[in-house]
Structure 1
Amino acid sequence: MSGCGSAASSGHSMQDFLRAEAAIEPDPVVTTTPTKETQIIAIYGKGGIGKSFTLANLSYMMAQQGKRTLLIGCDPKSDTTSLLFGGRACPTIIETSSKKKLAGEDVKIGDVCFKRDGVFAMELGGPEVGRGCGGRGIIHGFELLEKLGFHEWGFDYVLLDFLGDVVCGGFGLPIARDMCQKVIVVGSNDLQSLYVANNVCSAVEYFRKLGGNVGVAGMVINKDDGTGEAHAFCKEAGIPILAAIPAHDDIRKKSANYEIIGRPGGRWAPLFEELSLNVAEAQPLRPKPLTQDELLGLFSSEHTGRDVVLQPASLEDMCGGSVAEKPSLEVIYETV
């Protein structure tokens, strides 16, 4: 009996601990000036568009060119660094922090930051489904980075991989709080990825109007099949194309096998060498977000609904037939 009571008591105290921790409001994110001239670049794009693939190869090429590069995955899926480490998952900052806190220990750099061939990388991570807010997890992750000395690290480039489908809360921190100097969007020749890219441009423009300084440095077109919609979007939005990665079967197979293709001397090396140069030199611009109709106008009407006419529904439609007229209960007062 005593053993059961002890287990129940332990489970109850753990629940109390977690509830108390969840009730604590996060500290404001510190955005002090880095001690070294570091380019902090946030990369946004639709989920599955190839941000992690692009960043793993870009960061690898940058490191081979002698640039001190840190890659930080800020997507709750925690898959930014998987290609870089051959499919292996890194312990995330949020998960490691929780375990260390329960054990009464402090988090150290070696617990959350790992390296390969000169590239430094880490994953912020996120809560399990239904157990917390991903954006809040991002905020907590950056708080810990501050405590670990983020602004004292001597990197040339810090690349932040953010989910572009959501640009609110913690996911919008780099734009809303000037935590980065510029934003890069990853897109393709499909409406959904360009919708997300346009959404990111709208967020940048909104915060610029509020006095923010972050700009869009350009787009990386991934899986480019030559149809031209992404090129047309960049022209209309007033942002440059930093690279166009072709929809090539060799790239697809090597990426699926967790193989880095951004290696000096390799078949695709010139592509990532040019991308590295363009990322370094691209200036943060003020984009011109498109309206929904302008975005749809980039595509043929066969592939979008822009020729569809909106037909208002009636009450009869909603009820599936005729509707009996009911007397009004409204009280009408006679005017004198």
Structure 2
Amino acid sequence: MIDNGLHQLHRNVREEAATPSDDTAAVHTGPVTKETQIIAIYGKGGIGKSFTLANLSYMMAQQGKKVLLIGCDPKSDTTSLLFGGKACPTIIETSSRKKLAGEAVSISDVCFKRDGVYAMELGGPEVGRGCGGRGIIHGFETLEKLGFHEWGFDFVLLDFLGDVVCGGFGLPIARDMCQKVIVVGSNDLQSLYVANNVCSAVEYFRKLGGNVGVAGMVINKDDGTGEAQAFANNAGIPVLASIPAHDDIRRKSASYEIIGKPDGEWGSLFAELAQNVADAPPVRPRPQSQDQLLSLFSAEVTGRDFVMEPATLFDMVGREDLSKPSLEVVYDSV
């Protein structure tokens, strides 16, 4: 059964973080022993989280695991590949519609399945019409009312957007809703910047008494240049799989085709990823500084050899001095 942290989610999302603990406290590095592994996957938008998760969850199901995939991205596209491009009704939209009709939301309204994979989308507000992070919180509150803590899954995979920093998107890390985090990145600076931010968040909440660790990184669209592998090495996290930048993968993904099948060309890749995801212990990462991230790339790529020149007052107003009227109040004599 899903752990007590999820059972008490309604209360936990409203509580402050725990009292800061000793910085030297080590994250648990043994095997995960809870019946349900809850894993939050983060990455830059467009880096391939949904592609990775659809194929990973499909492979896990083919290996006999009971898997729940939950899309926590306002774009609601986590399940699109799994369902052949079809849009999955979101929990937020369905909940609002049912409430207006005076009806209760049921599991069959929001949860759908394919070949052993169960999947749903939390959804989010349209642009300018609400807070995506608050939508995430509302979505999980609805799940709890549906008996989320009673569901018996081997794995629950949460797909989170990593380049949004508001509170709702950090819930799994901040409130110990998962046992471990996986980051998806590539050999480009922006995706590694996001991966590093996630590592920083994990480390921050570890210092506040949290228990979540980083299980590793999936390198997607790997062109062999090595920056993502170097980042993982520096951050102290393992690489769980490297998915090559291959035209066959790109084409099949674009046509909503699952490639994580045991008998397929890429089956062994996702079978290994599934095993690594299951076995990898959560570790405490070493977040990198901006300069350390830049050092992974050549100066020609990042422009890091550029020397900043301070601006001057003359640059701003065309002269060396600036007359400022006094704010002192002067009273006329009576």
Normalising by the smaller structure, the TM-score range is: 0.7 to 0.9
Q: Which of 63, 66, 86 in structure 2 is aligned with 1:88?
A: 86
Q: Once the 2 structures are TM-superposed, how far is the Cα of residue 176 of structure 1 from its aligned partner?
A: 0.1
Q: Once the 2 structures are TM-superposed, how far is the Cα of residue 322 of structure 1 from its aligned partner?
A: 2.8
Deviations 1:131-190 (A, max 9, x none): 100000000000001110111001000000000002331100000000000000000000
Cα distance in structure 1, aligned partners of 2:260 and 2:291: 37
Does 2:319 align with 1:322? yes
Q: Determine helix, strand or coil for the equivalent of 2:300.
A: coil
Within 5 A, what are the aligned runs for 1:26-45? Answer: 27-29=10-12, 37-45=35-43
Q: Once the 2 structures are TM-superposed, how far is the Cα of residue 325 of structure 1 from its aligned partner?
A: 4.0
| Counterpart contact for 1:167–1:200, Cα < 8 Å | no
The letter for the 1-side match of 2:176 is D
Cα distance in structure 1, aligned partners of 2:143 and 2:11: 13
Cα distance in structure 1, aligned partners of 2:304 and 2:48: 28
Q: 1:326 to 1:298 in 2, by over 3 A?
A: same
Q: How many residues align?
A: 301
Match of 1:221 in 2: 219
Cα distance in structure 2, aligned partners of 1:62 and 1:168: 31
Match of 1:156 in 2: 154
Q: Once the 2 structures are TM-superposed, how far is the Cα of residue 68 of structure 1 from its aligned partner?
A: 0.1
Q: Determine helix, strand or coil for the equivalent of 2:82.
A: coil
Q: Which protein shows a greater Rg?
A: 1
Q: Once the 2 structures are TM-superposed, how far is the Cα of residue 306 of structure 1 from its aligned partner?
A: 1.5
Q: Which of 258, 269, 272 in structure 2 is aligned with 1:271?
A: 269
The letter for the 2-side match of 1:169 is G
Q: Which of 220, 233, 238 in structure 1 is aligned with 2:236?
A: 238
Larger RCO: 1 or 2 (CA < 8 Å, sep 6+): 2
| Counterpart contact for 1:60–1:262, Cα < 8 Å | yes
Does 2:120 align with 1:122? yes
Match of 1:280 in 2: 278
Q: Once the 2 structures are TM-superposed, how far is the Cα of residue 307 of structure 1 from its aligned partner?
A: 0.9
Cα distance in structure 2, aligned partners of 1:119 and 1:192: 31
Does 2:43 align with 1:60? no
- What percent of counterpart residues are identical? 81
Cα distance in structure 1, aligned partners of 2:98 and 2:273: 39
Match of 1:186 in 2: 184
Does 2:293 align with 1:295? yes
Q: How does the TM-score come out when normalised to structure 2?
A: 0.88
| Counterpart contact for 1:29–1:139, Cα < 8 Å | no
Name stretches of at least 5 consecutive residues in structure 2 with no aligned partner: 1-8, 15-33, 329-334
Poorly superposed stretches of 4+, deviation over 4 Å: none
Q: Once the 2 structures are TM-superposed, how far is the Cα of residue 27 of structure 1 from its aligned partner?
A: 5.0
Q: How does the TM-score come out when normalised to structure 1?
A: 0.87
Give the RMSD, CA atoms, in angstroms.
Answer: 1.6
Cα distance in structure 2, aligned partners of 1:112 and 1:313: 56
Cα distance in structure 1, aligned partners of 2:322 and 2:90: 62
Q: Once the 2 structures are TM-superposed, how far is the Cα of residue 326 of structure 1 from its aligned partner?
A: 1.8
Cα distance in structure 2, aligned partners of 1:324 and 1:69: 68
The letter for the 2-side match of 1:175 is I
Name stretches of at least 5 consecutive residues in structure 1 with no aligned partner: 1-25, 332-336
Cα distance in structure 2, aligned partners of 1:278 and 1:226: 21
Match of 1:198 in 2: 196
Q: Determine helix, strand or coil for the equivalent of 2:190.
A: helix
